[in-house]
Amino acid sequence: MASSPDANEIESRARAHIAAARRIVVLTGAGVSAESGVPTFRGPGGLWRSRRPEELATPEAFARDPRLVWEWYAWRRSVVAGCAPNAAHLALARLALARRPHTSTLLVTQNVDGLHHCAADLAARDADPAPAYPLEVHGAIHRDRCSRCARRTQGLSAIDTTSEDRLPRCESCGGLLRPDVVWFGESLDADILEEAFDAASRADVCLVVGTSAVVYPAAAIPEATLARGGAVIEVNPDVTPLTPRATLSLRGTAVETVPALLG
Ligand code: BV8
Ligand code: ZN
């Protein structure tokens, strides 16, 4: 009976898929930022550990107790502010820049930490083309959005959560500001979602790094690549619901695996 391919064989197959691919979509989740010090959501010590998503990352939670929700996001914003892109973020940013003519790479992230954006700026610093910024399907924690007029502003670094009436308000209409992220039960930006699914449906490879593949509709993006005969390559230390569907699944962390995979 043929033995199952060992990790080296799987990695060399994955490298061959990526090298031959004309169109690549990369989907990342919280795991790609774990080695930068950003806590994941569902892992040990994860963000959701002490709380349930429904408690904090929903419009109902914000309507019920905006002070508590802001307290959680202000803490997360301060954690992210102390984190830098890691070697996986940088390798993915360089992939988007360094591709051969007539190839394309689109980075789609579920993360709201902005680290792919920083990595795109760093990678483009020593290259001509403009940075290849990611599609942030769940928004960005460092931006504020008015809950009344939807005006977006650079996120305030200090949020006074001592009482509800001291929470930040919109300079234009006085509405309560909120973090500019997509909460559970909220729709994702239709244009961003269409661009992500359209690219995934035409991709030769969808590289999925560091996601538990349980949050929809983002978790369906790799399925669009599979549906059109493309290959899905997963990088994750753990098995996920995507693993049995993936063409190749590499057991490893983002920093251990992605730079080597992308050469
Ligand atoms: C919506 C922003 C329409 C806020 C987040 C089917 C279709 C549509 C909707 C649904 C559906 N089924 C269910 C739903 C509802 C819901 C949903 O998916 N629920 C799940 C939990 C079952 N979806 C929604 O509500 C979405 N809205 O579809 O609108 C609609 C409208 C009304 C009614 C119904 C539908 C909105 C979803 C977006 C929610 N917002 N975040 C914030 O961040 O505070 S989601 C949140 O989870 C984060 O954004 C995060 O990115 C995302 C996914 O989590 P992961 O990134 O995967 O992180 P996680 O910790 O889970 O996993 C980390 C992984 O990394 C692990 O696998 C681990 O092994 C691995 N790892 C760890 N260390 C490393 C590593 N990997 C590599 N290297 C390492 N070092
Ligand atoms: Zn406003």
CATH of the domain at 60: 3.30.1600.10
For residues 107 and 194, membership in a common domain is answered with yes
For residues 227 and 104, membership in a common domain is answered with yes
For residues 247 and 152, membership in a common domain is answered with no
For residues 134 and 150, membership in a common domain is answered with no
Distance 170 CA to ligand 2 centre (A): 5
Predicted local distance difference test score (pLDDT) of residue 42: 77
Domain of residue 59: give its range. Answer: 40-82+140-181
pLDDT at residue 48 is higher than 70: no
For residues 118 and 133, membership in a common domain is answered with yes
Inter-residue contact 17 to 235 (CB < 8 Å)? no
Counting the structural domains of the chain, the total is 2
The closest alpha carbon to 149, from 174, 116, 182, belongs to: 174
Report percent pLDDT > 90 for the chain. Answer: 80
Q: Which residues line ligand 1 (CB under 6 A)?
A: 29-31, 34-35, 40-43, 46, 57, 110-112, 138, 181-187, 210-212, 214-217, 236-238, 240, 253-254
**Distance separating alpha carbons of residues 189 and 196, to the nearest angstrom:** 11
Query: Ligand 1 atom closest to Cα of 110?
Result: 51
Cα–Cα separations (whole angstroms), residue 149 to 4, 153, 175, 213:
56, 12, 7, 33
Predicted local distance difference test score (pLDDT) of residue 1: 47
For residues 132 and 226, membership in a common domain is answered with yes
For residues 25 and 146, membership in a common domain is answered with no
pTM: 0.95
Model confidence at 99, in pLDDT bands (50, 70, 90)? confident
pLDDT at residue 45 is higher than 90: no
For residues 52 and 130, membership in a common domain is answered with no
For residues 64 and 161, membership in a common domain is answered with yes
For residues 33 and 96, membership in a common domain is answered with yes
For residues 224 and 253, membership in a common domain is answered with yes
Provide the angle, in degrees to the nearest 10, between the axes of the packed helices 254-262 and 7-20: 50
